[in-house]
Amino acid sequence: MNNVSDYYELIDEDARFSRNSRKIEFYTTNLVMESMLPGRSTILDVGAGTGVYSFHYAERGHEVIAVDLTPKHIQYMTQKSQDTGVPIQAHLANATDLSRFDNSLFDVVFCFGPMYHLTSENDRNSCISECLRVLKPGGILAIAYINKFPVLPMLATRDKKFIRDSVIHKVINEGVIQVGDEDCFWTDAYFTSPPEIEAFMQDYDVSLVDHVGTDGVSHTIQEYVDGLSDEEFHSWMNYHYQTCRESSILGMSTHGLIICRKN
C-alpha cells in the first residue's frame, strides 16, 4: 500500500488549477520554464499527476514523457493523449527509480510533485540522483517543493484544529507528516524551506539557475484572490511576477520552484 498513491486515486488532481489562486503556480512555472527551454526539448515529467504540464509542453512541440506513481493518472494521460492526438508517453513509475530510462537522455526534467511527498531523506536523494542521471550534461532540472513557513497560516484559514504546538513542531522542525499520525492534516508529506532546498542541492553537481516563489501568498489567501475581477487579477499577477524572487516573498510562498543546471 502506498499512502500517496491511494490519496491521489481518490481526488480529482486534474481540477487542481481550476481556481485563479491555484493557476498562479501554473502560470509562474511556465513563465520561468519557457524562458529557458532550449528550443524543441525532450522533457521527462516526473510525478506528472494528470499531465497538466506534460500536455502544455507537448502541445508546444516538445517531446514529453510522463511518469507517475498513481495508476489512475497514467490511465487518464494515456486516454487524453489518444483523444486529443497530443503525443505523450505515460508510464507508471516511482520517482526514486527511473531505471526504465537510459543515462543522459533528456534535455529537461520536471520534478514538480515528488518532493511534496518523499518523507524519507534517502528517497529524496534517490529521486534527485535519478533525475540527474537521466538528464543530459547542461540540462535543466526544475524541482517544486512546499515551503514549511506558510503551512500554519494556511491551516489557520482552512482547519484551525491543527493550530497546536505538536503540529508546529512537526512542520517546522521535522518537516514531515504521515498518514496515521494524529497531527497529519494531508497525506504523507514533506515540507522544506528556500534555504534548506538550496543547501540540499549543493550536494549535487549542479549550478543554481533560478529560485522562485510560484504562488506567493495567493494560496494562503485564496478566497480573496479568487474574488478578484479579471482586471484586478491581472494587476495581482503583475505584482506577483515582480515580487516572486524577492527573498521575503519567497519565504512565505506556499510553493517554491528551484531550477538547476547539470554540470
Residue range 115-146, pLDDT digits in tens: 999 999 999 999 999 999 999 999 999 999 99
pLDDT over 60 at 232, yes or no: yes
**φ, ψ (nearest 5 deg) of residue 206:** -135, 165
Lowest-confidence range among 12-26, 187-201, 215-229? Answer: 12-26
**Mean pLDDT for the chain overall:** 95
pLDDT over 80 at 14, yes or no: no
Looking at residue 16, its pLDDT comes to: 83
Its pTM stands at 0.96
Instruction: Give residue-wise pLDDT tens across range 146-186.
Output: 999 999 999 999 999 999 999 999 999 999 999 999 999 99
Looking at residue 1, its pLDDT comes to: 46
Looking at residue 10, its pLDDT comes to: 83
Looking at residue 39, its pLDDT comes to: 85
Residues 164 and 155: their CA atoms lie apart, in Å, by: 10
Residues 69 and 48: their CA atoms lie apart, in Å, by: 9
Cell output for 247: 527573498
Number of domains in the chain: 1
Q: Between 20-34 and 230-243, two packed helices, what is the crossing angle to 10 degrees?
A: 50
Please name the residues in contact with 255: beta carbons below 8 A apart, sequence gap of 6 or more: 25, 144, 145, 146, 147, 213, 214, 215, 219
**φ, ψ (nearest 5 deg) of residue 223:** -65, -35
Indicate the helix (H) or strand (E) that contains 56: helix 52-58
Cell output for 204: 549535487
Owning domain of residue 145: 3-262
| CA–centroid distance for 234 within its chain | 23
Instruction: Give residue-wise pLDDT tens across range 32-76.
Output: 999 999 789 999 999 999 999 999 999 999 999 999 999 999 999
Residues 84 and 92: their CA atoms lie apart, in Å, by: 21
The number of residues making up the chain comes to 263
CA distances in angstroms from 227 to 10, 21, 223, 235, listed in the order given: 28, 9, 6, 13
Residue 176 per-residue DSSP state: E
The CATH number of whichever domain residue 151 belongs to comes to: 3.40.50.150
